[in-house]
Chains A and B, each alone.
Chain A
Amino acid sequence: MLAMALKELRQLRRDRRTVAMMVLLPLVLLIVFGYAARFDIDKVPTIVVGANAEAVAAQLPERLDVTATHTDWTREDGVDALRRADATVVIVADSTAPALLIDGANLFGAQSVLRAVAGNPALPRPEILFNPDLETSVVMVPALMGMILVFIGTIATSLGVVRERQSGTMEQLAVMPFRPRDVFLGKILPYFVVGIVDLVIVVFAGLWIFGVPFNGAPWIFGVGAILFLFVALGMGVLISTVSENQGQAIQLAIMTLLPQILLSGMIFPLDSVAIGVRWISYFLPLTYFVEIARGVMVRGAPFDALLFPIGMLLLLAVVVFTLSVLRFRRDLAPSPGRRERRAAAGEVTA
């Protein structure tokens, strides 16, 4: 037994990345997630519209953080602002039909507003839009679809390249006439198809089993989902290119998955995440998928309202693709070799 333990210890000592992850990761996770794991929302973005907007805005409880007032806006304009996630609350300050509209897709924000305005006679009766019963499943299922895709996609592809390296076939690939981008795209294409099938299944299961609405245009959701899937699969390939063995690849994949679950706004609202940790959220693809999925499915948000998350996913896709291709280039064609490769045939002088 001692001999076995000694052997394991020696192997572990040589796998410095694993040791670093085992020792440092718990501390990092505790600090990051300690700041992230908060449901409390102190400020709820609020827009006040209607003829009396200015006067009403001045009298609102502190929690309703007035970000804009529009005296010329109607209730429809206010609903449109909620649909676009420009605010969580819209107060229609109109003497004929006053209203307090709350975005039900922002579950914790909505609950926070309800608590803040309860028993306030100066405010109209709250009206919850998009998710009138504040059902958790309506908000969670669209986000869970993303989590499922990122889990399956990233872990599946994270093993791809490292498996080639460990089995010795990477060297064969290096001598085959593949461009690095061919290898990247070839690696993710089959998983991409499987991921699309997965997506269709989870969307229909979500609609059918949990009764989640689909209020927006499916094509917008499709664009976001395809970009997100590309990033998720690409992250897996990138992880694989920087890992020395399959164990490291899985560890790295999990390291990227945990923050996505806790910092993407899927569980804890982004507004309540401490600012010192929140910046991480903006590098996570799930953050943007959650925004798109909830926007399209629950609020029925139009394309232009989701340009930012779609643009960010596009940017992440470009970054992941570029980094992976650069890593592949290093593996497939060492620098002087690349120069040599350009010479289609013939003599090469190093």
Chain B
Amino acid sequence: MTAATRPGRDADDRITGWGLEGVTVRYGHHVALDRVSLGVGAGSVTAVVGADGAGKSTLLRTLVGAQPAASGRVRRPDLRRIGYVSAGPGVYADLTVDENLGFAAGAYGVRRAIARTRINQLLERTGLTDARRRLAGQLSGGMRQKLALAMAVVHEPELLVLDEPTTGVDPVSRAELWRLLAGLAARGTAIALATTYVDEAERAASVLVLLRGRTLAAGTPASILAAIPGDLFSLAESASGPLAWRRGAAWRLWSPDGSAPAGARLLTPDLEDALVIAQLAVETAEAVA
């Protein structure tokens, strides 16, 4: 599934900004990414979605240069213009908030006077001003992620890459992190992030869905929704079979040919439904093959 025009791509679907094109990554004999492409346009957020082990982290690490690609093309700016938040804590627990930010500014060669101004602005934007003298190890999960994000943008990178920045973070902190990301994108930063939350992917300008190292779906959320084959139905009673699943209190059933079962109600799918259907479509095709 591809859209005609997506952020980071031209009309012919070629990468125009930063990104990967037909990239394969191997760990020994295991293929972690199989000819995957990703475009990350300036001023937009691109979300990489997938289950655990789908290849999200590998993809982002390849994009920033921490993981070599076996084949394919990678377009990225110089390291000095990349900001990266890894899946780990990414902050020094035994340094204060100020010291962590100072280290990041120094590492990227930001001049001291400029760094001081930026750090103050970032502390204010992330709401960490009152915690600036606290050790990073004493911060809550959400505050630590905000600090990691602030460290990644202290040098005002062109490309910001975040590996599951909101995993394990409370809903309020998640919303704050997204507000910060939206602000960065509005200033022209190209942002690529991995997430397991579909509601976050819905906010992105472009989404890449990975399944076992392969592209399952790619495009804007709207284009992914538009490309769903068949129809989706809601069932009042429990359903069985590989094409049915439970969501909340109700059951959903995907009908590839659009035929409606008795008592079913036609649903307008959201992105979460679209991702489940895309996966079911692949698995059904594989089962047939």
Contact = CB atoms under 8 A, between A and B. Distances in A.
Interface of A: 167-169, 171-172, 174-178, 333-337, 340-341, 344-350
B76 A337 contact: no
Interface string B81-108: 1101111111111000000000010011
Contacts of A344: 78
B224 interface: no
B92 A169 contact: yes
Contact of A340 (B74, B84, B86, B90): B74
Contacts of B76: 345, 348
A92 B84 CA distance: 74
Contacts of A347: 73-75
Given A340-B65, A348-B75, A350-B74, 17 more contacts: A167-B92, A168-B86, A168-B90, A169-B88, A169-B90, A169-B91, A171-B90, A177-B107, A334-B68, A337-B65, A345-B77, A346-B75, A347-B74, A347-B75, A348-B74, A350-B71, A350-B72
B4 interface: no
Contacts of B75: 346-348
B80 interface: yes
B232 interface: no
B79 interface: yes
B259 interface: no
A174 B161 CA distance: 14
A345 to B, nearest CB: 4
Nearest to A331: B66
15 contacts: A167-B92, A168-B86, A168-B88, A168-B90, A169-B90, A171-B61, A177-B107, A336-B68, A337-B68, A340-B65, A347-B74, A347-B75, A348-B73, A349-B72, A350-B72
Contacts of B40: none
B42 to A, nearest CB: 14
Nearest to B57: A171
Interface residues of B, number: 36
A178 B77 CA distance: 15
Contacts of B84: 172, 175
Looking at A344, A347, A348, A350, the one whose CB has the most chain B CB atoms below 10 A away is: A350
A295 to B, nearest CB: 41
A171 B68 contact: no
A334 B78 contact: no
A337 B70 CA distance: 11
Given A167-B93, A177-B80, A350 B73 contact: yes
A258 B264 CA distance: 77
B21 to A, nearest CB: 9
Nearest to B158: A345
Contacts of B88: 167-169, 171
Contact of A176 (B68, B71, B107): B107
B218 interface: no
A175 B93 contact: no
Given A175-B66, A348-B75, A350-B70, A168 B89 contact: yes
Nearest to A340: B65
B65 to A, nearest CB: 5
Contacts of B73: 347-350
Contacts of B81: 345
Given A345-B77, A350-B23, A337 B66 contact: yes
Nearest to A172: B90
A174 B66 contact: yes
B69 interface: yes
Nearest to A173: B107
Nearest to A164: B92
Nearest to A332: B66
Contacts of B91: 169
Scoring A172, A174, A345 by chain B CB atoms within 10 A of each residue's CB, the highest score goes to A172
Contacts of B69: 336, 350
B67 interface: yes
A341 B76 CA distance: 10
A175 B65 contact: yes
A330 to B, nearest CB: 11
A336 B24 CA distance: 13
Contacts of A175: 64-66, 79, 82, 84, 86
B127 interface: no
List of 9 A-B pairs having minimum Cβ-Cβ separation, nearest first: A168-B88, A336-B68, A350-B69, A175-B84, A177-B79, A171-B86, A345-B78, A334-B68, A176-B107
B108 A176 contact: yes
Contacts of B74: 340, 347-350
A334 B109 CA distance: 23
Contacts of A336: 68-69
Contacts of B77: 345
Nearest to B83: A175
